[in-house]
């Protein structure tokens, strides 16, 4: 933890966020807000009341089920916010629409077209994640197994490859020039939430002093997913590569659900074990966060203020 990080109080908020293009999404217990800064310095906001699916179907909020539900819901909401933040930038910065977007815009209304684009983006994101981090390591380990029989070490080999691909992916993303500012907004989000949890007034000065490494970050969640997948997939004793890939797909919901419960539990406690659980994910945040400037902290503070619950304490994690 950072030297200015205040964890002495027991308060942990369930409010979380996501860095966007020149902006931040904050999600509270009742609503979410997107705040972006336009090139002229103006802040634009979009506030939305949350309608949680578990309110209609309570069983979707049960432990070991809610993890997958919340993960998919966060992906959809995140892509929607990312799309909106991109639209707030100058048209020349957005780039020309590709042929797929042009086809959708010609054949569907604006509302339907937006839903289709969001659905395709989420679907591609899931396919990319599953392909890179679940199936590709299994395929590569299968090729290696043909050259050097791995036996009982095959599961461990898949896990090492999975972790290497994940780290390589983060390194590759960091080479993209535009990602530097996204990581800075990510750091602003963490600092602002820490400031709020410490009970300090939400000012740029107070937020600036906080750590940018947060134990309940999405980066930490992804690392736990990979670690749990290594443990569970290592138990598979099937030899065929295609069969192993199929079993990995079937077990993915269980991996996500267990990982969600672990990070939720770890976020509520302070002890050596939870510190060890959080440490790898926080270390990875050296790659996925950067120190923000004051203008970014202003955006994060505004977004957080917009989602604070009316009744104090209803956002306790």
- Structure confidence at residue 187 as a pLDDT band (50, 70, 90): very high
39 found inside a domain = yes
- Rounded to an integer, the average pLDDT of 245-253 is 93
Placement of tokens 């995140």 in the chain: 78
**CA atoms of 139 and 243, how far apart (whole Å):** 11
Dihedral over Cα of 55, 84, 17, 69: its sign = positive
**CA atoms of 47 and 35, how far apart (whole Å):** 9
292 found inside a domain = yes
- Rounded to an integer, the average pLDDT of 12-36 is 94
- Rounded to an integer, the average pLDDT of 93-101 is 58
**CA atoms of 48 and 169, how far apart (whole Å):** 32
Q: What's the pLDDT score for residue 35?
A: 97
94 found inside a domain = yes
313 found inside a domain = no
Helices (H), the chain: 53-56, 66-87, 91-94, 99-107, 110-130, 136-147, 154-174, 179-197, 204-208, 218-233, 241-268, 272-288, 294-307
277 found inside a domain = yes
Q: At what angle do helices 241-268 and 136-147 cross, to 10 degrees?
A: 130
For residue 251, pLDDT over 60 is answered with yes
Q: What's the pLDDT score for residue 1?
A: 38
10 found inside a domain = no
Q: What is the mean pLDDT of the chain?
A: 87
Q: What is the largest CA-CA distance in the chain?
A: 62
25 found inside a domain = yes
Q: What's the pLDDT score for residue 3?
A: 39
> Do residues 68 and 253 touch, judged by C-beta distance below 8 A?
yes
67 found inside a domain = yes
Domain tally, the chain? 1
- pLDDT tens digit string along 120-151? 888 888 898 899 988 999 999 999 999 998 88
Domain that holds residue 302: 16-307
- pLDDT tens digit string along 277-314? 889 989 999 999 999 999 999 999 999 999 999 888 88
Single pTM value for the model? 0.85
């Amino acid at each position: 933890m950072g030297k200015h990080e205040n964890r002495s109080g027991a308060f942990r908020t369930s409010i979380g966020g996501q860095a966007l293009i020149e902006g931040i999404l904050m999600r509270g217990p009742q609503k979410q807000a997107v705040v972006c800064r336009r090139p002229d310095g103006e802040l634009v906001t979009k506030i939305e009341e949350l309608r949680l699916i578990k309110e209609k179907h309570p069983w979707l909020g049960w432990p070991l089920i809610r993890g997958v539900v919340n993960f998919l819901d966060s992906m959809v909401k995140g892509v929607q916010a990312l799309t909106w933040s991109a639209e707030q930038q100058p048209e020349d910065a957005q780039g020309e629409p590709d042929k797929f977007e042009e086809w959708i815009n010609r054949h569907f209304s604006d509302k339907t077209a937006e839903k289709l684009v969001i659905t395709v983006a989420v679907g591609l994101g899931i396919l990319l994640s599953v392909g890179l981090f679940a199936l590709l390591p299994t395929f590569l380990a299968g090729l290696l197994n043909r050259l050097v029989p791995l036996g009982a070490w095959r599961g461990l080999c898949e896990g090492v490859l999975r972790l290497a691909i994940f780290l390589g992916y983060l390194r590759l993303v960091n080479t993209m020039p535009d990602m530097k500012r996204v990581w800075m907004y990510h750091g602003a989000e963490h600092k602002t939430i820490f400031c709020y949890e410490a009970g300090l007034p939400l000012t740029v000065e107070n937020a600036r002093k906080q750590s940018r490494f947060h134990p309940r970050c999405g980066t930490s969640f992804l690392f736990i997913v990979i670690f749990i997948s290594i443990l569970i997939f290592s138990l598979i004793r099937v030899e065929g590569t295609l069969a192993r890939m199929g079993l990995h797909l079937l077990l993915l919901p269980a991996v996500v659900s267990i990982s969600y419960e672990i990070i939720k539990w770890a976020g509520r406690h302070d002890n050596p074990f939870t510190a060890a659980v959080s440490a790898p994910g926080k270390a990875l945040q050296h790659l996925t966060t950067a120190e923000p400037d004051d203008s970014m902290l202003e955006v994060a503070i505004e977004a957080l203020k917009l989602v604070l619950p009316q009744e104090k304490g209803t956002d306790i994690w």
